Amino acid sequence: MDEFHAFLTKIESQILTPLISLVALAAFILFLFGVVKFIRTAGDAKARAEGQRQMIWGIIGLAILFGANAIVSIIKHTIGM
């Protein structure tokens, strides 16, 4: 059973954590692009709405990723890692 815990720890530290961080960074960058687009296109309602959608999807992506990270943490504590 100790080998299994070591295996799961390696998967988490070498695959899940960097993957979640990378996708969180992408969602944050999408959010920032949305903010810039929202501000720069103040006169164009259509482009401004697109910037607003990008901000919303960025926030949704971050919320999903933080939720996934919380689920991984709960599973870790449940199985005693």
pLDDT of residue 26: 92
pLDDT along the chain (81 residues), means of 10: 78 85 91 92 89 93 89 83 68
CA distances from 21 to 9, 27, 55, 79 (A): 17, 10, 18, 23
Q: Which residue has the tokens 């926030």?
A: 59
- pLDDT value for 20: 86
pTM for this entry: 0.75
Q: Is 27 exposed, middle or buried (0-12, 13-18, 19+ CB in 10 A)?
A: buried
Cα separation, 35 vs 55, whole angstroms: 6
pLDDT at 30: 92
